[in-house]
Amino acid sequence: MIIHIVGGGPLTELPSLHNWNSPEIIWVGVDRGVYTLMKQSISPKVAFGDFDSVSKEEFEEIKHNVEQVYRYHPEKDETDMELAYTWAIEQSPNKIRIFGATGGRMDHFIANIQLLIRKVTNKISCNVEIVDSKNTLVVFPPGEYTVDIEQEKRYISFFSMSEKVENLSLLGFKYELNRHSLQLGSTLCISNELIQSSGTFSFTSGILLMVRSTD
């Protein structure tokens, strides 16, 4: 099972959602993202939010077309996206993709990156990524991983999301590393590229964010 969550980020940051649609996908809308899905003729199964970014008429349309609608008071501890993300984790999917989570308000974007980090700190086993029209963001716990080349998103950057990432090694990249200690705040690993069909990266401790980007 794969769950796709669509937030209320700017439409200009969204890829074509139809390219990510298939019968096994469960679509979840978050606030304005519910209406975005409906306008693209994709039927969300579940909707979350306080729905302060839709009109009364739009909310009535959402209630009429969505199987499960969870509406919350605007004054709450969790963001709408976190509520949807927590629900998605509880379904035990193989993968979660989050759309409409970048652009617009920077505080919301940073909060959504925190949700990626929670995958590692809470030892969540399913794959989770944020996808927009130009980027894919994934957070990793320590280990060794293989990454395949993508012509569309050719640039690969790495960031430490902890105090440091220890013994980071990159093989098959234009700029390789051998057991490097990547510090929080470092820009050393920006805009790398694969020089063969696939490469590997590994590290022994810390939390690592990988961003794949296109110009």
Return the CATH number at 192. Answer: 3.40.50.10240
Q: Work out the mean pLDDT of the chain and round it to a whole number.
A: 94
**Residue 77: is its pLDDT beyond 90?**
no
Q: Give residue 102's pLDDT.
A: 96
Residues 127 and 145 in one domain: no
Domain extent at residue 72: 2-133
Same domain, yes or no, for 107 and 172?
no
Total of domains in the chain: 2
Percent of the chain with pLDDT over 70: 100
In this structure, the answer to whether residues 129 and 199 fall within a common structural domain is no
Do 111 and 149 fall into the same domain?
no
Per the document, the length of the chain is 215
For the sheet with 198-203, list strands across it. 143-148, 198-203, 164-171, 177-183
137 has a pLDDT exceeding 90 = yes
Q: Are residues 143 and 74 in the same domain?
A: no
pLDDT band at 74 (very low <50, low <70, confident <90, very high): confident
Q: Mean pLDDT check: name the lowest of 12-16, 138-142, 144-148.
A: 12-16
Tell me the per-residue pLDDT of 144-190, one tens digit each, with 9 for 90 and over.
999 999 988 999 999 999 999 999 999 999 999 999 999 999 999 99
- 33 contacts: CB under 8 Å, gap ≥ 6: 5, 6, 7, 8, 9, 99, 100
Is 15 found in the same domain as 54? Answer: yes
Residue 157: in which H helix or E strand, if any? Answer: strand 155-160
**pLDDT at residue number 160:** 98
| Shared domain check, 109 and 12 | yes
What value does the mean pLDDT take over residues 1-22?
Answer: 94
How far apart CA 63 and CA 68 sit, in angstroms, is 8
